[in-house]
Amino acid sequence: MGVTGGPALETDRLLLRPPLAGDLDGWAELMGDPEASRFIGGPMARSPAWRPWRR
């Protein structure tokens, strides 16, 4: 998962694209919520949540 961009797939109802730097706030909020992050690694603080995006 990088922040440099890449291919995107778009339909009428869905846009799949690599994460962008502007997505970090929403991602950190999602990962900080125990119920929302339950099946994707569990809750974590903002600092470790952004680490995969550095690649």
pLDDT score of 55 more than 80 = no
State whether residue 16 is helix, strand or coil. strand
Domain boundaries, the chain: 9-54
Do residues 16 and 3 make contact, with C-beta atoms less than 8 angstroms apart? no
* Mean residue pLDDT across the chain: 86
Greater pLDDT, 5 or 39? 39
What 3-state DSSP class applies to 43?
A: coil
Question: Across residues 34-53, what is the average pLDDT?
Answer: 89
Q: At 2, is the pLDDT very low, low, confident or very high (cuts 50, 70, 90)?
A: very low
- The 10s digit of each residue's pLDDT in 12-34 is 999 999 888 899 999 999 999 99
Q: What is the pTM of this model?
A: 0.68
What are the DSSP calls for 23-34, one per residue?
GHHHHHHHHH-T
Residue partners of 13: CB distance under 8 A and separation at least 6: none
